[in-house]
Copies of this chain bind each other. A is one copy, B any other.
Amino acid sequence: MLIREAAADWQAVWPFFRDICAAGETFTYPLHPSEEEARAMWMPPAPAHVVVAEEAGTVLGTANMYANRSGNGAHVASASYMADPARQGRGTGRALVAYSLGWARAAGFRRIQYNAVVETNAPALALYRDLGFEILGTLPEGFRHPGLGYVGLHSLHRAL
């Protein structure tokens, strides 16, 4: 699997991005963003960094990474990941997270924080914990899961 900077990849990302938003189980994004809104949200300009995971010419997933805050908070990175649900089981998520940790280290960040991880997203949480993240706190009822009702919303972090 190759992780590389996203270029003309939006058309490959948009179908699963749209489906993941519409499912409404894992992101605090609009459920039905326009394609233009979604693209602007997912692919911010540099110094943010946007990549895709590719295998044999097929995009398996994508990630973006950036400073979580500005000014005197700009030494903490954040990142988001999406793997195509139709192409699971290939380690795409793990490869994207590992890549983002390396990117953040190389860019000089001291720490990385995820702001909003749904507490029922067990696969993502297991992966993040395995890669050294700890739960910083959990906002009670921070997320309205379409099937489970109000559930907690974690923030996670780790040093770099």
**Chain A contacts to B: CB under 8 angstroms:** 21, 24, 27-31, 69-76, 110-111, 113, 115-116, 135-146, 150, 153, 155, 157, 159
Contact = CB atoms under 8 A, between A and B. Distances in A.
Given A136-B138, A137-B136, A155-B155, A143 B73 contact: yes
25 contacts: A21-B71, A24-B72, A28-B69, A28-B70, A28-B71, A28-B74, A29-B71, A30-B70, A31-B72, A72-B145, A72-B146, A73-B153, A75-B141, A76-B139, A76-B153, A110-B141, A110-B150, A111-B140, A113-B139, A135-B137, A136-B136, A136-B137, A136-B139, A137-B155, A139-B155
A27 B142 contact: no
Given A136-B138, A136-B139, A155-B137, A144 B111 contact: no
Looking at chain A's contact residues, the main secondary structure is: strand
B143 A28 contact: no
Given A73-B153, A75-B144, A76-B153, 8 more contacts: A28-B71, A29-B71, A31-B71, A69-B116, A72-B143, A76-B139, A113-B142, A155-B155
